[in-house]
Structure 1
Amino acid sequence: MATEYDADIVMYVAMMGLCPTIALFGIVSNIINIIIFIKTGFSESITVSLLGLAISDLLALVFVVPFIAFSNPIMLHSDDHPFNSIDVIFLAITFPYSAFTRITCLITAFVTIERCLCFVLPLRVKTLLTPRRSAIVICAIFAITLCTLIPPHLAAKLDWRHDTRRNKTIYGLVFKRKDSAQLMEIRTIMTLSIQLFSFFALVVSNIALAITVKRQAKWRASSGAAGIQQNGQLQQNSVENAADSTMSRNRRLARMIQLLSFIQFVTFLPSTLFYLVALGLPEFSMYGKYRNEYKSCWPSATVLQCLNSSLNIIFYYRMNTRFRNRMAKMFKKGATRIFPANANTMDNTVETISQRPRPR
């Protein structure tokens, strides 16, 4: 069994060593994502969905900041503060953070289903998934998942109470009802159900997406070969070129979504297992018999979830040309405002180099 010292070491390494850097990068990167998606416009439903994903990631990482602040040794072990840090973390921080991370899971599952429909029903997807309908789905995901905050806040609150160890009145967790334990268990079941549903949707939609992409690639290859045999050469008109371009773009988007889904599955698997353990073993909690094991496991899961919320910008930049161009344009405009003389000089240099005659 883990000791309190072991649990504190894990918490310090995770929350004071790893999370600050990851959370800072994630907050900045998701703000950039939001700006770029807004500037791109909402003519496509995928942009609306990715904007919702960036907002949920940003809100989750914002709650990591007070999590880090209340997890430092001074806050945890000092008796001078008029509050209990663990109680504040438990009720005011971990529950909202968990809700926003589950929103991320559901939106990722929705985006995967959306990309799958682009291949399964290419002629109807534009009418089935309009930007307006995607926005309604994203708002519904936020509303439904935030309902998981109701049971714990019905069960407990932060209020002044007497601390027997300190022998003074402090601001901490107070259970309001006799059925508080049952309400906490209901919240665990709700959160676990959302997590398992998103995992199921991710797995099924990714399998369907992979099969459909492979079938369409074979069909394009066979139709191209048939065209060559029939006409002696491949006749490509503007319509075919446009179709090929759209298909290529959809394949790139599909690969990006599959990669995001895989990373989410890996990073959220530990927390899902911890919820299953908590459901079968109620003492595995912040205030139960296995509280040291609980405090040792969850910081590690938090680090993985922070990674999932922070890395999206890297995949968008590497796998989406439109996002890359928007990002380069945005930073170029910012550099022009900060360093106007240097930016003009750089633009003139680039223009001069581009006008030089190329060797034949």
Structure 2
Amino acid sequence: MILNVTQPSQELENVLSSSTGGDFITGAQLYFILLTTSALTQVFNLGGVITNSINIAVFVKLGFNETSNISLLALALCDLLSTFLTIWGSLCVTPGFSDAELPFLPTEIGNLTGGGLANLVLRCTAWVTAFISFERCLCILIPLKVKKWITRKTTTVVMVAICIATIGPYIGAHWRWIFVWKFLPGRNATVLGVTVVSTPFLDLKEKIENIVLGLIQPIVAFVTVLVCTVFLVVYLRRSSQWRKSMASAGEEKAGGDNSSRFEPKQTISRKEEKLVRLVISIATIFIVCYTPNTLVFLNMAIFPSFWVFGQHKNTFLMVYTLSVMASSVSASVNIFIYYNMGTRYRNAFRLMFHLDLKDSVK
């Protein structure tokens, strides 16, 4: 079989300075947008590196007697890795760095080694968040059985399986993107870039894999988090109504019996309720920040011209960088949720940084 090695675009570095006919965003507008969003994204990423490093240290200090600590540690690891990759990917599309005469093409190399891998890790984050949300739902629906099913070993296996399920197919789908040396006549220099090995079979195979891995997989994770979050919110509202009705009834048994119709099927302890609220907060931030990324992939599937090599490449880069910035925000703010809503986390945090303890360890 003869392989035809083709270049995805004539010169990706022209994306930042050229306008495409029919595109909604001009090259000059894209330049300003990328300059602004890249700077903000880098700020959030640097914050994410710091906050997630602290999260990892705190969860290790807390230990793994509770399965939730294992999944939250996995979430922190995913967030930390995604911030590192996004720092590199954002740097490669930052005006000034991308225009510099470097020994490689920043946009091409950054798209493959930064942005592409960051999307991969983001899928891991989505599925870890989905598992955390789903686990809380099971703890409410079948609290006695879930303790036997979801153990420390089970949670660890699931976290590893999520990584394999997201990384493995990615390698199979993108192995044909290879590094090559390209000669640039304008610079009279040979630099490192990226190209794709193309055959009709591989093109069809990649289209199918992109639909399954790039569209269906992240959307299923997103919908799972959304459904589980809605369920948890509804349950907490019903539980709150029931508690208020019991409090208003006081010691009157008749009032207590009358309010029993508001009681959820399974009541949970205050400690479990705080954990549910924490999960809802994490999931809500994920939903808000992951929505732009989901919309990007949906538009890529519906409109073939909406991608980095398409007719509307400028619009794609604008929307994509905004979605990357939103993902960076999501990866950097969980520490504030843990600290404000988790007593054990807050105490471990204070001990680690030798601060005065105001709360007793529970």
Query: Smaller-chain TM-score range?
Result: 0.7 to 0.9
CA contact (8 A) 1:91 1:152 kept: no
Match of 2:87 among 65, 70, 77: 65
Q: CA deviation at 1:208?
A: 2.4
Is 1:191 aligned to 2:191, yes or no? no
How many residues matched? Answer: 322
CA distance in 2, matches of 1:184, 1:301: 23
- 1:38-92 CA-partner distances (Å, limit 9, x unpaired): 11111111111101000000000011221233233333223x3221111101111
The 1:4/1:181 distance shift into structure 2, 3 A limit, reads farther
Deviation at 1:216, TM superposition (A): 4.4
1:203 matches 2:253 = no
Distance 2:190 2:147 in 1: 60
2:70 to 48, 54, 58: 48
Cα separation, partners in 2 of 1:151 and 1:283, compared to 1, 3 Å: farther
- What is the rounded CA distance, in whole Å, between the counterparts of 2:314 and 2:122 in structure 1? 23
SS at match of 1:287: coil
Q: Distance in 2 between matches of 1:21 and 1:206?
A: 29
Measured after TM superposition, the shift of residue 167 of structure 1 is 5.1
Contact kept, 8 Å, 2:137 with 2:228, in 1: the verdict is yes
Is this contact kept in 1: 2:71–2:128, CA < 8 A? yes
Q: Report the AA paired with residue 197 of structure 1.
A: V
Query: CA–CA distance in 2 between the matches of 1:153 and 1:224?
Result: 59
Q: Name the residue aligned to 1:87.
A: 108
CA contact (8 A) 1:185 1:279 kept: no
Q: Which residue does the alignment assign to 1:267?
A: 289
After the TM superposition, which of the residue ranges 184-193 and 270-279 deviates more from structure 2? 184-193
Structure 1 counterpart SS, 2:180: strand
Cα 1:161–1:184, aligned 2, differ >3 Å: closer, same or farther? Answer: farther
Amino acid in the other structure paired with 2:70: V
Matched, 1:112 2:112: no
Structure 1 moving runs of 4+ over 6 Å = 221-227
Answer yes or no: is 1:129 the counterpart of 2:155: no
* Residue pair 1:8, 1:296 contacting (<8 A) in 2 also: no
Closer/same/farther in 2, CA of residues 10 and 222 from structure 1, 3 Å limit: closer
Alignment correspondent of 1:342 = none
User: Residue type matched to 1:321 in 2?
Assistant: T
Q: Does residue 30 of structure 2 align to residue 18 of structure 1?
A: no
Q: Aligned pair in 2 of structure 1 residues 111, 191: CA closer, same or farther (>3 Å)? A: same
Q: Could you give the per-residue CA deviations for residues 299-343 of structure 1, whole angstroms, max 9, x where no partner exists? A: 11111000000000000001111111110111007xxxxxxxxxx
Mapped contact 1:158–1:173 kept (Cα < 8 A): yes
**Aligned twin of 2:191:** 170
Among residues 250, 274, 291, which one is paired with 1:252 in the alignment? Answer: 274
Query: Offset at 1:270?
Result: 1.1
What's the offset of the Cα at 1:8? 1.9
Deviation at 1:217, TM superposition (A): 4.7
Coordinate RMSD, CA, aligned: 2.7
Please tell me the residue identity of whatever aligns with 2:91: A
TM score, norm. by length of structure 2: 0.81
Q: 1:162 to 1:171 in 2, by over 3 A?
A: same
TM-score by length of 1: 0.82
Paired residues of 2:339 and 2:345 also in contact (CA < 8 A):
yes
Question: Aligned partners of 2:172, 2:312: CA distance in 1, in Å?
Answer: 22
- Give the helix-richer structure, 1 or 2: 1
Matched, 1:139 2:167: no
Question: Is the contact made by 1:95 and 1:149 (CA closer than 8 Å) also made in structure 2?
Answer: no
